A and B are shown apart, each in its own frame.
Chain A
Amino acid sequence: MKILVAVKRVIDYNVKIRVKPDHSDVDLTNVKMAMNPFCEIAVEEAVRLKERGVATEVVAVTVGPKAAQEQLRTALALGADRAVHVETEERVESLAAAKLLAKVVEEEQPGLVILGKQAIDTDNNQTGQMLAALAGLPQGTFASEVKVENDKVQVTREVDGGLQTVELTLPAVITTDLRLNEPRYAKLPDIMKAKKKPLDVKSPADLGVEVTSRLTLEKVESPAERKGGIKVGSVDELVDKLKNEAKVL
């Protein structure tokens, strides 16, 4: 079985973001970028499925600017066999990304597609579900456990209040939650080897998809600053303030 795993280049999660002075967007110039943490979990799961003999090939795919090839190389160093880069400098919304990925799914015919549950930049949590819808596949979102058996996959999902297990027919789309696994680090020899692995570059036009959005970003603002509060001197004072001033007890 072939596994397709989608990764996204995002701002490193340790970086404190800055909003541009003209409020047009977040300022990403000279900011450290990295693979989205949920995508790392997706790559790890795909590689583990290959190590267990479930998958025969792992293909990493990304949609994004030229620089996103760094993240594909990271995925290759972590164990993906080859990579597909859908290159575009445009801002790609989830729906367009899902349309592009659906075309890659059509070309590659994977048995399983794994994505992160959300990217830490737009925080949309949409692409996996949209891809499943467009490709006509079932979805196992927020996965904390994945078991492939014959032509089905059992996915344990983190839902409000606990865990839910569903069985999906393959091919299927899975999105990863935090508990699924602990991603490994890329080792130096693997990083060197990854440079020689195949990386195929396509454009949205090659795939016949227009990257337009009917969603416009009107403004980006910093959130309201919280006013620093007060320090209380004792537990009694704290309880009193919470009861009588904040009225939350």
Chain B
Amino acid sequence: MSILVLAEHHDGQLAGATAHVVAAAQAIGGDIDVLVAGENVGAVAEAAARLDGVSKVRVADHAAYAHQLAEPLGALLVELAGDYRHVLAAASTTGKNVLPRVAALKDVSQISEIVEVVDGDTFKRPIYAGNAIATVKSADALKVITVRTTAFDAVAEGGSASVESVEFVAENSQSTFLKQELAQSDRPELGGARVVISGGRGMGSGENFKLLEGIADKLGAAIGASRAAVDAGFVPNDMQVGQTGKIVAPELYIAVGISGAIQHLAGMKDSKVIVAINKDEEAPIFQVADYGLVGDLFEILPELESKL
């Protein structure tokens, strides 16, 4: 029984997510191969080969895979999937984009964002925005799975897997990459950040979100918002954390001026440590917060920034 893990990489670097997906593969058990698909990805393949538990790295280095578009990458995975019982990828935008395509082409179900491996056929995954945990069992010969990376501890480095190249080149006349605009900020992306600090209606205005920036910079945190803050026009809706926004599970989540409506909790309650800063000591957010501080955020935030 062997497992293929699709490596996550950006700008010629192996992304941290891959080590978490390898950990999920170890929980399933079996030989683990990592597929690195892209253009000029030699360094990525070398980094993947150093991950503990990896038997072999397969490298598809070709212009066809340059931006990991779903059509060619899907065709590549379909080509390779026959050798494996499980195909795993991070539940990143790349993994979510391509794996369902692979599953459909192989006529199997896809299991999204697993948080626990029960056995090789059975997995736990959150549904209803994390308000319920489903245990699903697959009778498909091939399991195609995306992994919620925050639910698995990354494997260490120390391995020395063999690296071999894959010659298959996917034809693609349907999609073309035009451009990429990466967020200018040095801050991490909301979905993958180790620390997230979010503001809610209590922030009062979009201008006041600046109070979060200094703290975010010191902690290397991403900045999020509640739906209330988005609906009030304080910040754009791509910052929204919650049931209809992004679902995050960082190590530390700091909720500032957020009451803690269920739609918001659904997006962040799997965070390891939650801190709530709110002037209303009855706010529901304190029921899920590990550490709560009751007080005026306009006094607390500058003080917190200076003491970090």
Contact = CB atoms under 8 A, between A and B. Distances in A.
A51 interface: no
Contacts of A163: 180-181
Interface residues of B, number: 90
Contact of A213 (B96, B109, B243, B300): B109
A174 B228 CA distance: 28
Interface in A14-33: 14, 16-17, 19, 26
Nearest to A93: B109
Contacts of B107: 95
B291 A242 contact: yes
Nearest to A172: B174
Contacts of B133: 220-223
Contacts of B108: 95, 214
Contacts of B287: 226, 228
A119 B173 CA distance: 30
A125 B102 CA distance: 14
A218 B136 contact: yes
Contact of B135 (A121, A131, A141, A218): A218
B228 to A, nearest CB: 13
A168 interface: yes
A37 B231 CA distance: 15
B128 A121 contact: yes
B27 interface: no
Contact of A232 (B92, B182, B291): B291
A160 B93 contact: yes
B292 A230 contact: yes
Contacts of B177: 164-166
The bracket for how many chain A residues form the interface is 35 or more
Contact of A133 (B94, B105, B291): B105
A103 B149 CA distance: 35
Contacts of A172: 174
Interface of B: 10, 67, 69-71, 74, 92-94, 96-105, 107-113, 122, 126-140, 173-183, 189, 191-192, 195, 219, 236-238, 240, 243-245, 251-252, 262-263, 269-270, 272-275, 281, 286-294, 300, 303-304, 307-308
Chain A binding surface SS class:
mixed
A108 B106 CA distance: 25
A195 interface: no
A125 B111 CA distance: 10
A235 B300 contact: yes
A143 B87 CA distance: 26
Contact of A160 (B192, B195, B243): B192
Contacts of B288: 226, 228
Contacts of B97: 129, 139, 141-142
Contacts of A111: none
A167 B132 contact: no
Given A94-B110, A222-B133, A141 B128 contact: no
Given A37-B244, A138-B174, A167-B176, A123 B137 contact: no
A13 B244 contact: yes
B175 A168 contact: yes
A248 B252 contact: yes
Interface in A22-51: 26, 37-38
Contact of A220 (B93, B127, B130): B127
13 contacts: A14-B263, A26-B127, A98-B104, A123-B112, A123-B126, A130-B104, A133-B102, A139-B70, A162-B183, A164-B67, A222-B131, A223-B130, A231-B291
Nearest to A225: B288
Contact of A179 (B102, B175, B236): B236
Contact of A167 (B71, B178, B263): B178
Nearest to B97: A141
Contacts of A127: 100
Given A129-B100, A179-B238, A167 B175 contact: yes
A14 to B, nearest CB: 7
